[in-house]
Amino acid sequence: MRVALFGYGSAGEPLHARLIAATSGLELAAIVTRDPERRERARQAHPDAQILDSAEDVWQRADSLDLVVVATPNRAHAPLAITALEHGLGVVVEKPFAVTTADARAVVALAWDRDRLVTVFQNRRWDGDFLTVRRLVKEGELGDVFRFESRIERWVPEIAAGWRELADPAEGGGVLYDLGSHQIDQALQLFSRVESVYAEVGLRRAGARIDDDVFVALTHESGVHSHLWMSLNAPQPGPRFRVLGRKAAFVSPGLVGTEGDLQQIPPRPDEHESFYNGVVAALRGEAPPPVDPEEAIAGLEVIEAAQESAREGRVVKL
């Protein structure tokens, strides 16, 4: 099945292009990027792919394609997905699915109407450390979990050029969309629906125009509390995961047990290739999408509730 990839930046080049090229059943047929340096890197890495200038170049070739992958700046996710569906193509959208839940729902409605695949690249579901957490929780090795802590903290003191640092809400910039999309999705995968959201959103770096330091607290319907930190202001990051249960705890990278009785478990490798293997199965009608787009919409609902909570300084009920 022939794939056109929109974008050859921080997601398109190292993630999507590499995984598509390595997946049996997929052919990376076209890459859309105008940047001269990226075009040259794409030619060298994927000599059999056409390097195209614009979306219109893809739509003109729609009859020879099966799937479009949208790995562009966030504001283009929903518009490109909708146009791809209108041309009869399946769609993979980089996270976040869209900038608003309304836009995401419009994409899903059209996919249902056209009977085409739409799924979202929540690739951190297949991170090795998260797979470890998921197994421990599912198998009850920690007992009843009451708190899930997740951190993606980086030290990026200087503001770089690019759309992620722009204040315009239509861009979907900032760490809540960028990093929080992963962390919220993982919390929902582990503990399901959220009933309330509290958030603290900060702009810490000199000259920052969009959130670069965020804390989100989720109360799940199950009673579990998820505490999520995402930041570009962490000279020393905390542990990626800390999960507390009534029998034992897990702390990244691999300590399980109780104080004085800790066991080191070996790290599990990432399994990101599972996503595009799932895309192939879904396109063949053999399996559901590897990420249900409704689950991605649920994550966007939490992001919007977190924004509201930070603005109004209160807990937001879902």
Asked, for residue 22, whether it belongs to a domain, the answer is: yes
Distances (CA, A) of 296 to 81, 96, 97, 107, 215: 14, 8, 6, 12, 20
Query: Beta strands 249-251 and 194-202: pairing type?
Result: unpaired
Asked, for residue 312, whether it belongs to a domain, the answer is: no
Query: Beta strands 145-153 and 225-231: pairing type?
Result: parallel
pLDDT tens figures, 160-201: 889 999 999 999 999 999 999 999 999 999 999 999 999 999
Mean pLDDT of 220-241: 97
Whether 27 and 2 have beta carbons less than 8 Å apart is answered as: yes
pLDDT tens figures, 56-97: 999 999 999 999 999 999 999 999 999 999 999 999 999 999
Whether 90 and 117 have beta carbons less than 8 Å apart is answered as: yes
> Are 56 and 168 in the same domain?
no
User: For residue 93, what are its two tokens?
Assistant: 């959208």
> Are 248 and 280 in the same domain?
no
Asked, for residue 310, whether it belongs to a domain, the answer is: no
Asked, for residue 305, whether it belongs to a domain, the answer is: no
| Partners of 258 in beta bridges | 261
> Are 22 and 114 in the same domain?
yes
- Radius of gyration for the chain, computed over Cα atoms and rounded to the nearest angstrom: 20
**What is d(CA 42, CA 24) in angstroms, rounded to the nearest whole number?**
20
pLDDT band at 223 (very low <50, low <70, confident <90, very high): very high
**What is d(CA 280, CA 140) in angstroms, rounded to the nearest whole number?**
32
Query: Beta strands 67-70 and 2-6: pairing type?
Result: parallel
Domain of 219, CATH number, reads 3.30.360.10
Model pLDDT, residue 206: 93
Asked, for residue 42, whether it belongs to a domain, the answer is: yes
Mean pLDDT of 114-131: 98
Does 141 have pLDDT greater than 90? yes
**What is d(CA 3, CA 69) in angstroms, rounded to the nearest whole number?**
7
Asked, for residue 299, whether it belongs to a domain, the answer is: no
User: For residue 170, what are its two tokens?
Assistant: 């239509």
Model pLDDT, residue 257: 96
Percent with pLDDT over 70 in the chain: 100
pLDDT tens figures, 271-280: 999 999 999 9
> Are 222 and 263 in the same domain?
yes
User: For residue 280, what are its two tokens?
Assistant: 């192939």
Whether 171 and 74 have beta carbons less than 8 Å apart is answered as: yes
**What is d(CA 195, CA 76) in angstroms, rounded to the nearest whole number?**
30
> Are 88 and 164 in the same domain?
no
Asked, for residue 254, whether it belongs to a domain, the answer is: yes
Percent with pLDDT over 90 in the chain: 99
> Are 29 and 56 in the same domain?
yes
pLDDT band at 267 (very low <50, low <70, confident <90, very high): confident
Model pLDDT, residue 158: 93
The helix/strand/coil state of 74 is: helix
Strand order in the sheet with 316-317: 261-264, 255-258, 249-251, 241-245, 145-153, 225-231, 213-220, 194-202, 316-317
As to burial, measured by CB atoms within 10 angstroms (0-12 exposed, 13-18 middle, 19+ buried), residue 69 is buried
> Are 138 and 266 in the same domain?
yes
Residue 246: half-sphere exposure toward Cβ, Cα within 13 Å: 5
Model pLDDT, residue 199: 98
- Residue in the structure block whose two tokens are 């790995």: 71
Core vs surface per residue 2-14: b (16+ CB within 10 A) or e: ebbbbbbeebbbe
Number of structural domains found in the chain? 2
Mean pLDDT of 15-35: 98
**What is d(CA 243, CA 52) in angstroms, rounded to the nearest whole number?**
46
Model pLDDT, residue 134: 97
> Are 108 and 200 in the same domain?
no
Model pLDDT, residue 167: 93
Q: What's the mean per-residue pLDDT of the chain?
A: 97
Does 10 have pLDDT greater than 90? yes
pLDDT tens figures, 242-266: 999 999 999 999 999 999 999 999 9
Q: What angle do CA 123, 166, 213 make, to 5 degrees?
A: 65
Phi and psi, residue 169, nearest 5°:
-55, -30
Does 230 have pLDDT greater than 90? yes
Whether 76 and 70 have beta carbons less than 8 Å apart is answered as: yes
**Domain extent for 225:** 128-270
Domain of 13, CATH number, reads 3.40.50.720
